[in-house]
Structure 1
Amino acid sequence: MPKSKLENFVFTVMMAFVMVYAMVCYNIALTIGGMKDTVLLEAFREMMIMWPVAIILEMFIFEKPVVYLTRRVMTPSTPILMIIVIRFSITVCLMCPTMSLIATALFKNFQAAGFIGTWLQTVVINFPMTIGWQIFFCGPAVRFIFRTIFKRSN
């Protein structure tokens, strides 16, 4: 895990990229009725907006509340795996509704159902994918890449 501000920034940038790209692809695929090769390229248009937004939200708004909530839920004797799962779960619980709110405002056609209804539906659809992707794929992959880049001498 990151030990310095630079490492924290690099980790956040990497994690935000992988999470946002996957979720943008997921939402585009849902909108067009399935995953197609074109989705992988189309996602980069939304990424130009959503990736910086995710970095800013994580670093300047949600980082301290996530650490605080994790410390409230976990005890120091808790195994490291549980800390990682809970911390990332709390991050998802805060980031998913917020990013869905921004995506609803920018990219969804909410005229028929209304803004709040469309946002709530987006959160409900995104949350299971977000938590699963974070815990089982994105989190482990980004941590592996991060550890590879920032090898520590023991």
Structure 2
Amino acid sequence: MPKNKFQEVIFTIIMVFFMVYAMICYNIALNTGALTNDVFLAAFHELVIMGPIAFVLDFFIVSKLAFACAARMVDLRNSHPFSKILAISVASVAFMCPLMSLAATILFKNAGNQFVAVWLQTTAFNFPMACFWQLIYAGPIVRFIFRHIFRENESVSETVTE
């Protein structure tokens, strides 16, 4: 969907917000044992830390890896758009989830000598939520917002066809 670097930055910022905020809420709810109204406010404090980490990882590393993996799963030039979106989304989650779980483990978990076990458990708990959230909610919402921010000039195509 993004057609240039500026659009890639905007798309990544929007996606990072929707994915990271939801995953922070999910993790706080797991840690406290309940999803309360306070969770939604508390998540903004962690978003300030985790958002930039997610942006840097996604924009500079993961997006390239995800596209390369997706290209191995489907023909990105000739496949149905849904197949492309699915392949890219799944590959993105497959890379981002362990990396963001690693960051959360380092910054928030106080894992001590159980670091590897805590990181693996965090990744295992996060992966199903991240995958479903990405495919069913965040991805479609972000693409909808992005399409409306970067609408192609419809009047030009109408003039050409007349």
Q: Distance in 2 between matches of 1:42 and 1:135?
A: 25
1:62-100 deviation line (CA, Å, top 9, x unaligned): 121111111121124321101101101000000000000
Q: Distance in 1 between matches of 2:28 and 2:136?
A: 22
Shift, 1:109, TM fit: 2.9
* Gapped regions of structure 2 (runs ≥ 5): 158-162
Q: Distance in 1 between matches of 2:66 and 2:121?
A: 24
* Gapped regions of structure 1 (runs ≥ 5): none
Q: RCO (CA 8 Å, sep 6+): is it higher in 1 or 2?
A: 1
Shift, 1:126, TM fit: 0.3
* Runs of 4 or more above 2 Å deviation: none
Q: 1:135 maps to what in 2?
A: 135
Task: Say whether 1:148 aligns with 2:127.
Answer: no
Q: 2:102 maps to what in 1?
A: 101
Structure (1 or 2) with the larger CA radius of gyration = 2
When the two structures are aligned, how many residues end up with a matched partner? 153
Shift, 1:19, TM fit: 0.2
Residue identity opposite 1:9 in structure 2: V
CA RMSD in angstroms, aligned pairs only: 1.1
Q: Distance in 1 between matches of 2:109 and 2:122?
A: 9
Length-normalised TM-score, structure 1 = 0.96
SS at match of 2:7: helix
Q: Distance in 2 between matches of 1:68 and 1:97?
A: 18
Q: Quote the sequence identity (%).
A: 45
Q: Distance in 2 between matches of 1:7 and 1:61?
A: 17
Q: Distance in 2 between matches of 1:129 and 1:57?
A: 19
Residue identity opposite 1:43 in structure 2: A
Shift, 1:33, TM fit: 0.4
Length-normalised TM-score, structure 2 = 0.91
